[in-house]
Amino acid sequence: MPDGYTEVERYWVDEPYTFVSIIDDTRMFHYQVAEPSLTTYEKEILERVYEDLQDVLTLKDTSKADKNAVLADKTLSLFERYHALLDVASMHRIMYYLRRNFRGYEKIDPLLLDPHIEDISCDGVGVPVFLYHTKYRNIMTNVVFEELELNSFVIKMCQKSGKQISIGEPMVDATMSDGSRLQATLGREVTTRGSSFTIRKFKGDPITPIDLISFGTCSIDILAYFWLAIENGKSIIFAGGTASGKTSILNAVSLFIPSLAKVISIEDTRELTLHHENWIAGVTRKSFTGGAGEVSMYDLLKASLRQRPEYILVGEVRGEEALTLFQAMSTGHTTYSTIHAGDVQTVVNRLENDPMNVPHAMLQSLDIVCIQVQTYVNEVRVRRSNSIVEVTGLDARTGNIRINEIYHWDPAVDTFKQAGESYVLNSIMQSRGWKQDKLVSELTNRGKILEYMRGKGMCDYISVSLVVQAYFLNPERVLEAVRNDNLQEMISQHL
């Protein structure tokens, strides 16, 4: 450790090989990756094995455990062939680097293994890689790339994610094999500091409504409201800035879609995860030759309408597909999508103007807009549903769109306030022929179930889906299971 620094914390990311040390130079924290060091002799052997393995290694159809075994096997036989003088510890250290380079992501492999890291960004050649760490927030690392190394690394990462990057097509958006999102640029054409990449790490299971409650993103009341609204085919747009959690909340509340309903999702990069049997997931395709072979969101959406979906999920609307989405809404489909916009007025402006061009009158088909924000509570980065508004129609006099805020977040006390009467709930009550007390009990019961699940830690998306499904088929049974404290047992019979 350099002079004048103190170590704040140290933890393993790949025991017993690699650990991370967080150090403090009194101005800021630094993230130091410490990998095993190799002697000159070990480095020579590593390079030789690396070369020779390129030819013999075909790891295509083997499972993960098998792949590591095959790699170890071939390496050992090469050690033997070279008559290498290595003790067991040296062999393990060399094996570590082979695994991380062949199977993993080389230098950034330790960063991908660290569960505290949310985003990894490399902004160019010779610039330290930056991270977003759950505990230390934005933090600089000791990982730096040289020019040629970075170019070939970016090409390799894209290839591993099934995409091609080249000087002719220097920007790529891809999904990595573990579900992480990768954005990469190649060369100095589009980014003057050289190739760059950003990885938004995939965090295992998708975020569920129960997680949203635990994170404080929404209140139980808000989720009970979404549950009822979604079950009854009300359409929602989730708006917000970059990384405000739009896609995550869209995915979370989509678990409230009745389990047998026909669902079609359309995305540029695969992010959504549902547990619905009757779900068709579409991903757009960009053509490398331009024109032919390209499948846009608009194409997919038009095609999907012929398949008679009840629920349509569109990852993010940006262009002409917005109009098709609103046409779908106005012909009785329920749709959920996200849009980049910080408030309701901007949502409306973006929808009405080029390139979306949704006619004013058509906006009435939308029922709810939820505005997500990324903000700070006690210096910790959090996501909140800042405002939930309903679209109640057009003002007959002015022709303006009429909106009605029903929940908003109060940053001073970090709680959600109910703002107005819900037009959406009233319309559900009418169409289902419910009395006011039936509506109230539907909301309270759903709230109770959500609260119970949070208390029990039943937050994975499969459990949430099974409970929603069970409630749809037989609400009384679910409520009874909550009362008898055996909901977990009840749903596990269906697994």
Ligand X SMILES: Nc1ncnc2c1ncn2[C@@H]1O[C@H](COP(=O)(O)OP(=O)(O)O)[C@@H](O)[C@H]1O
**Residues in contact with ligand X, shown as a per-residue x/- string from 161 to 200 under the rule CB under 6 A:** ---------------------------------------x
Residue 217 touches ligand X, criterion: CB under 6 A: yes
Residue 247 touches Mg ion, criterion: CB under 5 A: yes
Name 266's Cβ contacts closer than 8 Å, sequence gap at least 6: 282, 283, 284, 297, 300, 301, 304, 312, 313, 314, 315, 321
**Phi and psi for 57 in degrees, rounded to 5?**
-90, 120
Bridge partner residues of 137 (DSSP): 133
Please state, in angstroms and rounded to a whole number, the distance separating the CA atoms of residues 111 and 108: 5
Give least dist CB 317 to Mg ion, A: 11
Residues 336-355 that bind ligand X (CB under 6 A): 338
36 prior amide bond cis, ω within 30: no
Strands 181-185, 171-175: pairing kind: antiparallel
**Sequence-distant contacts of 178-183: CB under 8 A, at least 24 apart:** 178/112, 178/202, 179/270, 180/112, 181/269, 181/271, 182/157, 182/158
Indicate which of ligand X, Mg ion, none lies near residue 422 (CB less than 5 to 8 Å, by partner kind): none
The only residue of 93, 163, 275, 383 in contact with ligand X, by rule CB under 6 A: 383
Please state, in angstroms and rounded to a whole number, the distance separating the CA atoms of residues 130 and 111: 10
Please state, in angstroms and rounded to a whole number, the distance separating the CA atoms of residues 372 and 365: 21
Of the ranges 140-148, 180-188, 245-253, 486-494, which one interacts with Mg ion (CB under 5 A)?
245-253
Residue 203 touches ligand X, criterion: CB under 6 A: yes
Residue 137 touches ligand X, criterion: CB under 6 A: no
Please state, in angstroms and rounded to a whole number, the distance separating the CA atoms of residues 111 and 122: 12
**Phi and psi for 148 in degrees, rounded to 5?**
-65, -40
Residues 244-263 that bind ligand X (CB under 6 A): 244-248
Residues 431-470 that bind ligand X (CB under 6 A): none
Residue 212 touches ligand X, criterion: CB under 6 A: yes
Closest to Mg ion by CB, 186 vs 301, is: 301
Closest to ligand X by CB, 75 vs 217, is: 217
Closest to ligand X by CB, 202 vs 434, is: 202
**Number of shown-chain residues binding Mg ion (CB under 5 A):** 1
Q: Which residues bind ligand X (CB under 6 A)?
A: 118, 200, 203, 207, 212, 215, 217, 240, 242-248, 338, 383
Which residues here bind Mg ion, judged by CB under 5 A? 247
